[in-house]
């Protein structure tokens, strides 16, 4: 398969995506986290309040809306641990487009149930095979149009719409932090911020068990994280930075902060206590990074990227 060459995501494309998806996605609130006198100025971008409880609906809605009529009839497919799958399934159902999803077989049951409820046909598959499919943009037996969960120009442009909302609601923002899995969100945010507010730092956040971006930034090229371990932060932290995504991220990212699983768990609890919302592990990684003190002076915007976690698991994780 010959893939389209990498090119920058333009501000015009991001602004067009924002208009295109306005009827599908929410303009999510940006709320200040009350950490008491002397605490850092941290704002939470609550993407866990989207209809699918994840930011992925932004990119999915834009990518599906951009399909030709012929492609709509053929249907779409994607590869996901849950959040991208829900976003694509939601957008496909709204557009009357058939949807199939190659699902990582360790995905939380709540995500699997939600994808099925949205009408998608699921194929549970081991992680290694899913990661290979992400790299190759192909999977045996899957036809139709692949809506790649991160290496897709239109998908990334949709994510960039979030940065436009952040700048509207917090014009004096100094840093924006988000979790990195494949790198689509980081690229979308970075592309918009480079164009409209180049002084704003764009930072990734990764769990210590899966931090390939940190290695890649240190080496100056895409790296594999050989010490990868599965954890409750299932929506972030891949085994490697795919070279195509390194090409996308490298020009628009300023750094990466690696956090412990314990700090991530405490961040999940803090979001529940202060904002009264549920964040999954990947949704709390950005806050854990901000609380490390490595993100500089505020205002710091932390993207709470999702809230799709089994409630029993969530209760166990924050019971400390």
Read off the CATH number of the domain in which 250 is found: 3.40.50.1100
Q: Same domain for 223 and 210?
A: yes
Range of the domain at 95: 57-146
Confidence band for 265, pLDDT divided at 50, 70 and 90: very high
Q: Same domain for 142 and 173?
A: no
4 part of a folded domain: no
Q: Same domain for 170 and 306?
A: yes
Strands 99-104 and 175-179: unpaired
Q: What is the mean pLDDT of the chain?
A: 94
- Kindly state the average pLDDT of the residues 218-235: 93
Give me the pLDDT at residue 320, please.
65
Residue 280 has pLDDT above 80, yes or no: yes
Percent of the chain with pLDDT over 90: 86
123 part of a folded domain: yes
Q: Same domain for 168 and 46?
A: yes
Give me the pLDDT at residue 317, please.
93
| Burial (Cβ within 10 Å: 0-12, 13-18, ≥19) of residue 50 | buried
Q: Same domain for 33 and 66?
A: no
What value, to the nearest 5°, has the Cα angle with vertex 177 and ends 280 and 201?
175
Q: Same domain for 253 and 190?
A: yes
Q: Same domain for 45 and 193?
A: yes
312 part of a folded domain: yes
**Domain termination site, one of 146, 174, 208:** 146
**Cα 83 from Cα 276, distance rounded (Å):** 21
Q: Same domain for 214 and 78?
A: no
189 part of a folded domain: yes
Give me the pLDDT at residue 94, please.
92
Q: Same domain for 107 and 237?
A: no
**Domain termination site, one of 106, 129, 146:** 146
- Kindly state the average pLDDT of the residues 96-102: 96
Q: Same domain for 224 and 291?
A: yes
Q: Same domain for 169 and 244?
A: yes
Q: Same domain for 191 and 230?
A: yes
Hey, what are 215's tokens? 């290695």
239 part of a folded domain: yes
**Count of structural domains, the chain:** 2
- Kindly state the average pLDDT of the residues 184-193: 98
50 part of a folded domain: yes
Buried b / exposed e across 70-97, counting CB within 10 Å, b at 16+?
A: eebeebbbbbbbbbbbbbbbbbbbeeeb
5 part of a folded domain: no
For residue range 141-175, list pLDDT tens digits in order: 998 999 999 999 999 999 999 999 999 999 999 99
**Domain termination site, one of 146, 175, 201:** 146
Range with the poorest average pLDDT among 1-10, 42-51, 182-191, 257-266:
1-10
2 part of a folded domain: no
């Amino acid at each position: 398969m010959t893939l389209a060459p990498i090119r920058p995501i333009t501000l015009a494309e991001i602004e067009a995506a924002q208009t295109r998806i306005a009827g599908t996605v929410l303009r999510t609130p940006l709320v200040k986290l009350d950490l008491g006198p002397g605490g850092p100025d941290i704002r939470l971008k609550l993407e866990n309040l989207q209809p699918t409880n994840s930011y992925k609906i932004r990119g999915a809605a834009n990518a599906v809306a951009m399909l030709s009529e012929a492609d709509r009839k053929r249907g779409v497919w994607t590869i996901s641990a849950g959040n991208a799958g829900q976003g694509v399934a939601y957008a496909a159902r709204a557009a009357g487009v058939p949807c199939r999803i190659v699902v990582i077989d360790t995905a939380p049951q709540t995500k699997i149930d939600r994808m099925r409820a949205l009408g998608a046909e699921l194929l549970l598959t081991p992680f290694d095979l899913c990661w290979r499919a992400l790299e190759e943009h192909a999977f045996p037996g899957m036809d139709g149009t692949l809506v790649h969960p991160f290496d897709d120009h239109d998908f990334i442009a949709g994510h960039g719409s979030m940065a436009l909302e952040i700048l509207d609601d917090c014009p004096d923002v100094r840093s924006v932090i988000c979790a990195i899995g494949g790198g689509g969100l980081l690229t979308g945010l970075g592309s918009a911020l480079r164009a409209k507010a180049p002084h704003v730092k764009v930072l990734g956040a990764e769990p210590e068990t899966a931090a390939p971006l940190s290695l890649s930034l240190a080496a100056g090229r895409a790296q594999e994280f050989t010490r990868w371990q599965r954890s409750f932060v299932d929506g972030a932290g891949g085994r490697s930075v795919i070279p195509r995504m390194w090409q996308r991220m490298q020009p628009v990212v300023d750094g990466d902060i690696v956090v412990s699983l314990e700090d991530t768990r405490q961040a999940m609890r803090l979001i529940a206590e202060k904002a009264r919302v549920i964040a999954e592990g990947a949704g709390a990684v950005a806050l854990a990074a901000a609380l490390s003190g490595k993100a500089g002076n505020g205002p710091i915007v932390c993207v709470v990227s999702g809230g799709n976690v089994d409630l029993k698991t969530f209760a166990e994780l924050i019971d400390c």
